[in-house]
């Protein structure tokens, strides 16, 4: 299959590489000039997209997605699949999908979960929005780049599912970090705390699969000086997207709002460029007042 891939950053590069390794002819473009092994470089986004059966985008935000969509849609063949894997606001996802469908394309919004490690290993989870036909066309690529995909509903549903998932993740990671920071001050052995929590009612993904304590639980960014698997500023972005969506539909999300405030303070203080689980040493280094 001839595939265009636009956005070859930390997530996009390994995704494009996996598609190429599976035998697809991938034409890649990134505004920074990044080139990926076995991916044919293009000089513009339009060149990467022209005449391809599928065009995948992995972009930083909704503004960039709208701009890139405007550049590539006129060059895409009728009935081609526009597969956007960026994490953006629901309104942008729906607007871009509408433009693509109006131009005769099949549009799928499919943000991912699994971080850089999942992108490299090809074990991402894709949350897809769009028509059944579009999802079916994208499914073989999901099976190469990921371990699971779920068709969540019409255009925008993938983005909606992603922000709901990351709302849970952001809030739960704060709770886990608070608990381990408290345990440290109570002079508890963090391994013993993990042994209790991971098999008790406090069990959750942030403990069992991504424990923020170095040397405890399965290997995680905490064991690599909190080098990001999922950067704190990206978690902040997703939590803000969740709050914006909640405001649009008048949903009450008080823990989400507090999570935004905490991650904003963390990123502004020492979290930028670190994994979102580095919330633990940040909290542990603070003293309660009042």
Active site residues: 162
Task: Check residue 216 and report its DSSP letter.
Answer: S
Rounded CA-CA distance 119/121 in Å is 6
Distance CA 100, CA 92 (A): 12
Separation CA 253–CA 239 (nearest Å): 11
| DSSP class of 275 | B
Q: Radius of gyration of the chain from Cα atoms?
A: 20
Helix 90-102 vs helix 232-248: crossing angle, to nearest 10: 80
Q: Please give the C-alpha separations between residue 21 and each of 17, 28, 41, 49, 192, in angstroms, as whole numbers.
A: 6, 14, 16, 19, 43
Given a contact cutoff of 8 angstroms between Cβ atoms, the answer to whether 86 and 65 are in contact is yes
């Amino acid at each position: 299959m001839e595939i265009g891939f636009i956005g070859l950053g930390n997530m996009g590069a390994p995704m494009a590489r996996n598609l190429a390794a599976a035998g697809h002819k991938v034409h890649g473009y990134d505004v920074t000039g990044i080139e990926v092994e076995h991916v044919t470089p293009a000089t513009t986004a339009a060149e990467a997209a022209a005449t391809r059966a599928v065009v995948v985008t992995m972009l930083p935000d909704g503004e960039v997605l709208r701009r890139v969509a405007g550049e590539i849609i006129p060059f895409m063949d009728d009935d081609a699949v526009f597969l956007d894997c960026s994490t953006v606001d629901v309104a942008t996802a729906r607007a871009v999908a509408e433009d693509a469908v109006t131009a005769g394309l099949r549009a799928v919004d499919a943000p991912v979960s699994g971080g850089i490690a999942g992108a490299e290993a090809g074990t991402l989870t894709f949350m897809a929005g769009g028509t059944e036909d579009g999802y079916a066309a994208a499914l073989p690529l999901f099976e190469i780049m990921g371990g699971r995909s779920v068709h969540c509903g019409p255009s925008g549903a993938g983005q909606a599912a992603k922000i709901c998932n990351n709302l849970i993740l952001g809030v739960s990671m704060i709770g886990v970090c608070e608990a381990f920071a408290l345990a440290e001050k109570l002079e508890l052995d963090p391994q013993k705390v993990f042994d209790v929590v991971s098999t008790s009612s406090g069990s959750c993904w942030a403990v069992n699969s991504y424990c923020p304590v170095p040397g405890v639980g399965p290997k995680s960014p905490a064991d690599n000086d909190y080098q990001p698997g999922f950067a704190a500023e990206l978690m902040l972005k997703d939590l803000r997207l969740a709050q914006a969506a909640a405001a649009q539909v008048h949903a009450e999300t008080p823990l989400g709002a507090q999570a935004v405030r905490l991650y904003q303070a963390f990123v502004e203080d020492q979290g930028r460029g670190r994994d979102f689980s580095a919330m633990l040493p940040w909290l542990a280094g603070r003293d309660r007042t009042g």
